[in-house]
Structure formats: C-alpha cells, structure tokens
Structure 1
Amino acid sequence: MIFIFQFTRIPGTLIGSAIGDAMGAPFEGSENIAHIPNRMIGGGPFQARRGEYTDDTLQTIALAETLVTCRGFSTIDFLSRLVKMFRMHPEYFGRTSSTVLLKIIEGIPPEKATERSGRTNGAVMRGSPIGIFYRPDQVLLMSRIASETTHGHPVAVACSGVVNQMISILCRGGSRQEAFFTALESCEVDEVRRRIALLGGVPLIPSIDALDTTHAAITCFMECGTFKEMILRAISLGGDTDTTAAICGALGGAYHGLQGIPGEWIADLEGAQRLLMLEEEVWNAGQR
C-alpha cells in the first residue's frame, strides 16, 4: 500500500493527549458525570493540581524522549526510563506495567518479563509518539515492539497499532475517514476490528481493558466535530477518564492541530511549551 500525504505540521498530538489526561484526571472512577467544567480543575484520586497530567502523559513523554534520543525505538532505553519513573512513583502504574517493571528490577530479561495475559490499556495510552515518528507502513511493526515491552496480549498490541496508525496518517495530512478505515483494514485481530468498526452502534465501556478504552476513545474522536466536544464526551463516560480522554486527545490533536484546541486549555496545562517542543523534536527526528 502506498501512502501519499501533504506534510503540513502544526503540532497538537502530544499536547492534545496531555490535555485529555489533565481534564479527565479529576473524574477518574466517577460515574454519570453530569457537569464537566469548561476550564481545568484539580482533585481526583491523586489530588492532582489544576492542569497537572498523570502517568499517561509521563509515560508518553518517556517514549517520545526515547525516540528522539535513539533516533528510533529502543527497548532498553525506554524500559530504563520507565523503571526510573516507577521507582519514584510506583502508585502511578497499573497492574500490568507494575508487574513487568518489578520483574525487570529483579533482573529478569525484558523479553521474558512482558505480560502476555493482561490486556489493559497502558500501551495504548502512551503510544502516540510512535504514530508521530513512524510512517503508516512502519507504524504497526513498531507499535507491536513498543507495546510488548510491557503489554504482550494480542488485543492490547492490536489496539495500540490501530490508534498509532491513525495518528501516523493524521499527522501526515490524511483525513479522519482515511485514518479510520486504513487502520481497520490493517488490523489483524478480528475482535478488535469488529468492535471498533461499530463505533457508537454499541455501548461505550470506559474500563481499563485495552479494547474497551480504544473503542470508546476512537468513537468520541470519530463522532464529535470539535476537539472540545470529543474530550468532554470521553470524560462524560466516567471510568478510566484520564486514559480515554488522553487517547482521544492524541487523535484529536493530530487531526485538528494546535489551532483546533481551546486556547484556555493550553494555558491551563502545566508544561505545555515543553510538550510542543518535544513533539517537534519527535517529528523532526522521525520518518517522512
């Protein structure tokens, strides 16, 4: 398959993801969210500051820094960054990543430490730099390699690949429909392909399961017109709000660009300038 895109870059992927993360964090674990403020607020399970993002974005930054430093994905470099982060803030990590990182700390080789039974959403939430860096014809392979550092279940791997391929196409000027249908066509896991294809035709379940989260995030992206609408819808689902909104925000940022993201949300976000610069570094170091 040959991809031809226009290369117009107005960064929005990483900052879109971080905004979704920071907007959703105060509502994590909630149900029936009737009102979401138009500006960021603090609070939530980790008592986050207003505009502070969670481990979803911290792991995304670690992956982006690996790609820039190594000029491509390096398992050893990325895991070393995750281990350092885990030692400082173990409470940030989900059960799958925690299990893997504890094994690595104990000296188990990375290729034997990965969890192949758990299908949680950790690899999907952090994967957007892979989509920025790699072209659509390379992104599925690299998504699998990056995902399997911690999440080796075929569903988790496939979900990461679908989201990252959509981001890769969107970053390179592809349309929303082109990104969606190309990613579906390329997905080799029937369960993932069939569920995501239904979009809002079936209930959205904002759990920590990789497919539940991916289906919900992509549906909000595909069915909402503006970046603001898609983030508010993702959060309104409740459950794992920071992760669903972070994945949706990465897709929305890749599609709408910086100019499509509410300026007040960018102003509220801690470290916004750093994320903008980091995305440019990933893009400049990556494949065209």
Structure 2
Amino acid sequence: MLTAPKTLSGLMGLCVGDALGVPVEFTSRTELVKSPVTKMLGYGTWNQPPGTWSDDSSLTFCLAESLCRGYSLDAIANSFWRWYKDAYWTPRGEIFGIGESTHAVIMRLKQGISPLQAGGTSEMSNGNGSLMRILPMAFCYKNLTFWELMRRVHEVSCITHAHPRAQMACGIYINIAVAILQGADLPTAYLQGLRNSQKIYAADEYGSEQPHFARIFSGEIAQLPMAEINSGGYVIDTLEASLWCLLNTSSYAEAVLKAVNLGGHTDTTAGVTGGLAGIYYGVECIPQQWVKQIARRQDIINLANRLAAAVLD
C-alpha cells in the first residue's frame, strides 16, 4: 500500500479542521461548552452544506497550486485575485466570509500594487489571515536553506499581512511544521521550532516583537489553562490556541474538535491546528466520515499529489 504524501496529510488536515469550524464560526465558547461540536455539521453561521471550507482553505490551495509551478509572488497574488474574482479554488463556486484586511489587499493588488507592498503594516494589520494559509511553504524545506525558506515565508505573509508580528507568527508555525515533517514528536517539534525561530527573530528587526510571543517562546504554552487561551482573530491568539490544542491532545480528531470548541474564529483555529495535526498523525488518521464529506475532495487529493511531486522529490 502506497503511503499518502505529507502534502495530502497537511492540506486535508487543514481543510477538514476548517470545515468543522465553518458552521459555528463566531459562536461563543460558553455556548460550545454547553453544546460542543463532535462531528461535521452544516449550515449554521454561513448556511453552507456539511464539508464546506472557508477562505482559509481556498487561499491555502491557491498558494499550493502556485508552488506547483515554482515560487513566484506575482503568481501567488494573481491566484488570490482569481479566487476573489472568479471563485477559483472555492468549495462550491462562491466566496463567503472574506476578511476585511484580505479584501482590502486584493483591491490593492487589482490596482497594480506589487505583492510585497500590498499587505498592511500597521499594528492593526495583525489578524490571522496570512497564518491561516501559510502551511504549504513548509513542504519546500528540503529544497531551500533555512534562511531562504524564512525569507519566502515572510514574503508570502506580506502579500496580505506585512507587519513583522504576522510574519513572525508564520515563521514560527512553519518551523514547527518542518520539525514535524522531519520526524519529531509534537513536544519536540514545538521546542525545535522555537529554537530555529530564535535564529532569526533575535535580530533587531524582530526584537521589539519578542514580548508579544513570550508565552509561546516560554516553551510552556501547553501548561496554560483554557481560560487563558484566546481564540479570536488576532494572529498570536490563533497561533497560541493552535499549539495549545495540538499539545494537549493525542489524536487528529481530538485536536481539531478542541480547537473548534474554543469558539470565536473556529474555522481558522481548527484549520491552523489541523494542518499540523494532519502532518503529524497522517491523513489515514483523519476520520474518514469527515473526509468523505469534504467538498472537492478529489481535487484536493490531486493538488496534494502535484505539490508533492513539485517540492518533495
């Protein structure tokens, strides 16, 4: 039996987590404690059928598709525009729930502003919109030096979110993903990812951002009580919550359901969690009844195979 590529485990892991969260996005934690999500639901917040993924997965797939043809910021940015204009890489031919920052950036890209100049740079430009789609960059690690991989991760973040904090969150996440791809267990991958991240984020350019990541860089994010884990749209909240869910569970299903049931930005928290959990546990450990309900499942499988051929050979 052929082993599924890690690209499929990651992309499907992210997408399933996203789809689990879509129907209850913006639902409060209090409400989800009373009535937790335990299976793939439908309709709810966005009135979409079960298995429908959000812009989180759409933009992840746009990035993955672009990487199949090599690295080009212009091509990646153009794929984001196609998603917005032509419903490219949408689950059912329409977009819904697009974030304000991402929408504003796509309008700037349409006006001809270069991808590296399009993303917001203000303190308020630290939503989770680049973190939610950055995962495919991790699969490029074999073909790039550490420094080149991090440079590209930062550039891809900058298309929509150019503040150093958003770039840093993406870099930390990718370093942890790479450690998992290299075979580390989850606690080790977390700490290894932090050590590698410090190589670049101890520099002056990012030094002022270090305090915002203190709880992550402590190496003890898993020990925090749930009451101290936030699950809104702030990029650090999303990164903290995803790592907390990953490190406090022992299966893919448990990790993504814990993420969904934190409430708030349920699709993004579960998608960011699910990307790492998928890589670690493998696509065969994602409940098959969930995978079978995913919109465009075969297209996602085909994309993952193309990406694997492009970057993992």
What's the TM-score, normalizing by structure 2? 0.83
CA-CA distance at 1:169 after TM superposition:
2.3
Residues 1:122 and 2:124 aligned together:
no
The residue that corresponds to 2:283 in the other structure is 258
The residue that corresponds to 1:164 in the other structure is 174
Contact 1:43 1:49 in 2 (8 A): yes
CA-CA distance at 1:281 after TM superposition:
1.9
CA-CA distance at 1:20 after TM superposition:
0.3
Partner SS for 1:57? helix
The residue that corresponds to 1:13 in the other structure is 10
Q: In structure 1, what is the Cα distance between the partners aligned to 2:99 and 2:4?
A: 36
| 1:1-288 alignment runs, 5 A limit | 9-10=5-6, 11-31=8-28, 32=30, 33-34=32-33, 35-69=35-69, 71=70, 73-88=71-86, 91-117=96-122, 118-135=125-142, 137=146, 138-187=148-197, 188=201, 189-196=209-216, 197-200=219-222, 201=224, 203-287=228-312
Partner SS for 2:233? coil
CA-CA distance at 1:195 after TM superposition:
2.0
Q: In structure 1, what is the Cα distance between the partners aligned to 2:76 and 2:50?
A: 28
Greater mean alpha carbon deviation, residues 227-236 or residues 92-101 = 92-101
Amino acid across the alignment from 2:99: G
Q: In structure 2, what is the Cα distance between the partners aligned to 1:87 and 1:226?
A: 38
Partner SS for 1:217? helix
CA-CA distance at 1:107 after TM superposition:
2.7
Give the number of aligned pairs.
Answer: 280
Identity level (%): 25
Q: In structure 2, what is the Cα distance between the partners aligned to 1:8 and 1:85?
A: 27
Change (3 A) 1:191 1:86: farther
- Alignment gaps of 5+ in structure 1: 1-6
CA-CA distance at 1:287 after TM superposition:
4.9
What's the TM-score, normalizing by structure 1? 0.90
Contact 1:21 1:57 in 2 (8 A): yes
Give the root-mean-square deviation of aligned CA atoms: 2.1
1:4-32 deviations in whole A, cap 9, x for unaligned?
A: xxx99453110000000000011100012
The residue that corresponds to 1:3 in the other structure is none
